[in-house]
Structure 1
Amino acid sequence: MGEVVPDVHARSLLHAGPPYAEGPLPAPVHNAAINAVLFERLADNAKDAAAMLERGNFRLSPAQDFGVTTPLAQVVSASMPVFVIGDGDRHVYAPLVEGAPPALRFGSPDSQCVGNLRLHARFAAMELNDSLAKHPVPLASVIEYALANGNDCHTLTDQANHALLSHLSGLSQSYRTLLEKSPGFVLPVLMGACGWLLRYGKSAIAAGGGNGREFGLRLKSQRHWLTTVAEPPTGPRFPAQVGKTALGAIGDSAVIDLCGLGGQALNCAPSLVSEWRDLLPDDWESRHATVLDADTGIVSPAEVVRHQTPPIINLALVGADQEGGILGKGFYQPPLTLFQQLTERMAQ
C-alpha cells in the first residue's frame, strides 16, 4: 500500500471508521493491529507486537482519511496488497482479504490470518496484478450483474464475486479455485468503488463507517468526523455464537450502503429479506426512496432529516471479546441526531 499511498509509512496503521478517542482499542481491532505488525515483520511474535503498540510505536489513523476503505476490524499496514480503484486519474484503495475465518477483518488473534494473507499477497503479485494491469475490470457491470442475480452487494456478494472473476484472465486453476471459494473476495473492491464515489462524486458525505466504539460521517472538504456511539448491529447469530457480546458497528463497508447498495438495495436480495424479515423495519422496502438523493443515488443528510428516517447499513456482527470473530450478519441504523448535525454543519 505504501507504494501507492505515499503518506502511509512503515509505522502507519489504518483502521475503519472515525479516529479513536483516548483509551485502549477494541479487542478485535487490537488483534488486527498486532497481526498487521507481524505481517510487516516488525516484531517476532504477538507479545512483542502488542508491546510496540502499547509504547505508541505506530500511528493509527482512519483509513478513509487516506483514500483507503477497510472492512470490519481489519487494520491495513504499509506493505499489505491493495486494490486500486478509480477512473484513471483519481483513485482509492482497498486491501485484499484472506478468505474465510479466521481472518484479520473479523479481529481474530489467530496467527493463521497472517499466513493466509501472505499466501493471497503472493498470488496477487504473481497473477492478479498482471491480469488487472492488462484488463481493468469495469465495476459498474459487476454491480449490475450482482443486483440482477440476488445480491445486495454487501451482505450477499457471491454473484458479484462470480462477475468479478469472469473478467480476470490468466489465473492458475489453483488461484481461481481459491477465489471462487471466497465470495467475500470482491467485497473490498465494491467498498473501494463506493468509497471513490463518496470521495470524488457529487455527494455531501465524503466518508462514513464505524470503529467499534463510534460510528461517524465526514463531510467533503472537512477533516473532522461527526460521530455517535456505535450500537451493535441487529441480526441473527450463527448457532455457535448465540449469547456472545457483539462489538459496536464497525467497518468502512458502510460506504456501500451510503451509495445506495446494501441496506438500500434489499429489494434485490429476497433471500436476505426472508432471513431478516422479523427484524427489519416495516418500511424496509421503501426506505431507499426516503434517504437517497434522487440525482446521485447517494444517501442525502437533508432527505434523512426531512423524512426523519435513517439509512439501513448492513454490517456483520463482530465478537467484542479477545477472540473476536464473526458472530452473525445484520444491519445498523445510525441515529437521526448524526444527520441533524451534518445538515447543521452544511448550513454553516
Structure 2
Amino acid sequence: MNTLFNQPLKVVNAGLAGFANNIQKVGGEAIALSWQPPALGNIDAGLDLADLLRHPLVEQANQVAMERYLNAQPVLVDVMMADEAIPAMAERKLILHSGPPISWENMCGPVKGAIVGAILFEGWATRHEEAELLAKSGNIDLEPCHHYTAVGPMAGIISPSMPLWVIENKTNGQRAFCNFNEGLGKVLRFGANNDEVLQRLHWMRNELAPALKVAVRHIGELELKPLMAQALHMGDEVHNRNAAATGLLIKRLVPALLASNLPLEVMQRVVAFITGNDHFFLNLSMAACKVMMDAAAGVPFSSMVTVMARNGVNFGIRLSGTGDQWFQAPANPVEGLFFPGYGVDDAAADLGDSAITETAGVGGFAMASSPAIVKFVGGTPADATNNSRRMQFITLGSNPAFTLPALNFAPTAAGIDARKVADRGILPVINTGIAHKQAGVGQIGAGITTAPMSCFVDAIQALAQTVMQGAKK
C-alpha cells in the first residue's frame, strides 16, 4: 500500500465529476467515467436484467424476431376506406388515435381537437359542442391505431370514412394501414377542425383517394423498402425529412395517373396537392415500418421492441415477447428548435405513431444520412452522425437494406433490444415535430427526444416473468 501511494495518482472516477476535479487540481490524473446503475437503480429490475442477458431462450427468440423483421417486404398494394380495411369500423362507431391507450378526459388538446374534427367529418354531429359531448359520452370507442395494425402521425386520427394506404408484407401476407398526409398548416393531425380542414378531408376522400387508388392499381405493386433505401442515399431519413422519398413516389404516381382515364382537372388537383407536400411519403414510410415490425411481433421470450408510440401525454412501448402489453411512462420533452413566437411552454408532450420509423431502424436512427435535418431539429451534422452510431449499442443488429453514406455505407442499427437499453442507459433517439398544446394551432417546431427509461425497466421485469415461466415448462 505504501508503494502504491508513493506512485503518481491515476484514478478512474465513477460518479460525481467533482471528485475527479479535486484529484486533477492536486496534480493527479483522473478520468471521469459517465456511469449510472442499470435499470434506473431498481434492484429487482437489475436482477431480472442479469437473468435475461445471454439467456438462451431470449437469444433464440431474438434471432427469430430479427430474421422476420429483416425478411419483411413492405409493398404498397391498394387504397381503401378505413371501414373497408378495418372491419371493426363498419360494425361500430370507432375512432383510432396515436400512441398507447388513453381516455378522453386525459387526452391532450391536439388529440381532442382532432377527434372532434373526425366526428364532424363523419357527420355524427353538426356542431363542435355537440361533437365534444358525443366524444365525452362514451358512445364512440376511442382506441389506439396500433390495436388495428394501423399508424397515424401526430394525433393519428383514423375514422371510418377516411382513406388509408394499404401496405402488405409479401413475405407473410400481413397488412398495415396509415391515413393520408394532409400537408402543413391547419390540419387535423394537429387538432385543427375548422371548415377548411373538413373540406380538405372531404376532397381527399372523394377525389384524391379514388385517383390514387387508380394509380396504385395501374402500378400493380410498389416495393417500398428499395424506395426508402434510395431516399436515405438522397438526404432523407424518412421520418422528418421525406423530400427525396416523396419525389421518388411522384415519379411512380404521375405516369400512372396520366395513363388513367381521369379528367384532366382532377389529375391537376391531385398532382398539385402531392407535389406541394414534401411530407406526403411520411405516412407510407410509417405503414411500411409498421408491417416490418409486426412481422417481428409475437415471438415468445423476445426482448425486441416492436412498437414505440406517443399520445401527447404518455409514451408506450411493446416487446415482441410480451404480446399486446403496453409499458408506459410520461412522454419526455422534445429538445429542438421552435418557430418564431413559440417556446417550451407552448408545446404539447411528444405525440404520434411516427416513432415506428425509429423502431424499424430509420428516422432518428438514420440521421447520419440526413445532415440537413439538423437545420430543422437542431444540433450539428456531427450530432446526427453520433446519434446513428450510438444506436448501434442498443440494437440486436443492423439492416443491410438501409445504408448510410456518411458512415461508409454502414447499415442502420435495427432491432432495439430492451435489455441493452436498460443495461447501457442509452435511450432510443427520435426526431419529431412539436405540436402546440392547444388544438388547431399546429406545428410550432421540431426536435429530438428519447423514449423514457422506465418503459424499458417495466418491460424487462414483465419479460423476466414470462421467461421464468417458460423455463419451468
User: TM-score, structure 2 length as denominator?
Assistant: 0.70
Decide whether the 8 Å contact of 2:371 with 2:384 is kept in 1. Answer: no
- State the partner residue of 2:178: 94
Decide whether the 8 Å contact of 1:70 with 1:252 is kept in 2. Answer: yes
CA displacement, residues 40-79 of structure 1 (integer Å, 9 cap, x when unaligned): 1111121211121122221100110110101101311111
**Cα distance in 2 for residues equivalent to 1:323 and 1:27:** 8
Identify unmatched segments of 5+ residues in structure 1.
none
Decide whether the 8 Å contact of 1:72 with 1:252 is kept in 2. Answer: yes
**Cα distance in 2 for residues equivalent to 1:5 and 1:26:** 25
CA shift, 1:315, in A, is 1.4
CA shift, 1:8, in A, is 2.4
**Cα distance in 1 for residues equivalent to 2:107 and 2:387:** 33
CA displacement, residues 136-174 of structure 1 (integer Å, 9 cap, x when unaligned): 221012201210011111111111111111121115233
**Cα distance in 2 for residues equivalent to 1:125 and 1:191:** 18
**Cα distance in 2 for residues equivalent to 1:282 and 1:155:** 16
Residues 281, 124 of structure 1: CA spacing in aligned structure 2 closer, same or farther, 3 A cutoff? Answer: closer
CA shift, 1:118, in A, is 1.5
Mapping of 1:47-66 within 5 angstroms?
47-66=129-148
Mapping of 1:65-214 within 5 angstroms?
65-88=147-170, 89-135=173-219, 136-168=221-253, 169-170=256-257, 172-201=267-296, 204-214=304-314
Deviates further, 99-108 or 203-212: 203-212
Aligned length: 348
Decide whether the 8 Å contact of 1:28 with 1:322 is kept in 2. Answer: yes
Give 3-state SS (helix, strand or coil) of 1:277's partner. coil
Residues 235, 134 of structure 1: CA spacing in aligned structure 2 closer, same or farther, 3 A cutoff? Answer: same
Decide whether the 8 Å contact of 1:313 with 1:332 is kept in 2. Answer: yes
**Cα distance in 1 for residues equivalent to 2:440 and 2:187:** 11
Decide whether the 8 Å contact of 2:188 with 2:440 is kept in 1. Answer: no
CA shift, 1:305, in A, is 2.4
Kindly indicate which of the two structures has a greater share of residues assigned to helix. 2
1:292 to 395, 399, 410: 395
- State the partner residue of 2:403: none
**Cα distance in 2 for residues equivalent to 1:49 and 1:22:** 13
- State the partner residue of 2:455: 338
CA shift, 1:85, in A, is 0.5
CA shift, 1:262, in A, is 0.9
- State the partner residue of 1:43: 125
**Which residue type is aligned with residue 170 of structure 1?**
L
**Highest Rg: 1 or 2?**
2
Give 3-state SS (helix, strand or coil) of 1:185's partner. coil
CA shift, 1:281, in A, is 8.8
**Cα distance in 1 for residues equivalent to 2:239 and 2:439:** 26
Decide whether the 8 Å contact of 1:260 with 1:292 is kept in 2. Answer: no
Kindly indicate which of the two structures has a greater share of residues assigned to strand. 2
CA displacement, residues 275-330 of structure 1 (integer Å, 9 cap, x when unaligned): 52169599424222112221562222122223220111111111112444111111
- State the partner residue of 2:427: 310
Mapping of 1:233-312 within 5 angstroms?
233-242=334-343, 244-273=345-374, 276-277=378-379, 283-294=386-397, 297-312=414-429
**Cα distance in 2 for residues equivalent to 1:50 and 1:21:** 14
Residues 243, 330 of structure 1: CA spacing in aligned structure 2 closer, same or farther, 3 A cutoff? Answer: closer
Give 3-state SS (helix, strand or coil) of 1:228's partner. strand
**Cα distance in 1 for residues equivalent to 2:294 and 2:420:** 20
Pair 1:26 & 2:108 matched: yes
Give 3-state SS (helix, strand or coil) of 1:188's partner. helix
Residues 341, 4 of structure 1: CA spacing in aligned structure 2 closer, same or farther, 3 A cutoff? Answer: same
Give 3-state SS (helix, strand or coil) of 1:215's partner. strand
Residues 21, 116 of structure 1: CA spacing in aligned structure 2 closer, same or farther, 3 A cutoff? Answer: closer
Give 3-state SS (helix, strand or coil) of 1:315's partner. strand
Pair 1:5 & 2:86 matched: yes
**Cα distance in 2 for residues equivalent to 1:177 and 1:292:** 40
Identify unmatched segments of 5+ residues in structure 2.
1-81, 259-266, 400-413, 466-473
**Cα distance in 2 for residues equivalent to 1:218 and 1:123:** 37
Decide whether the 8 Å contact of 1:235 with 1:331 is kept in 2. Answer: yes
Deviates further, 338-347 or 151-160: 338-347
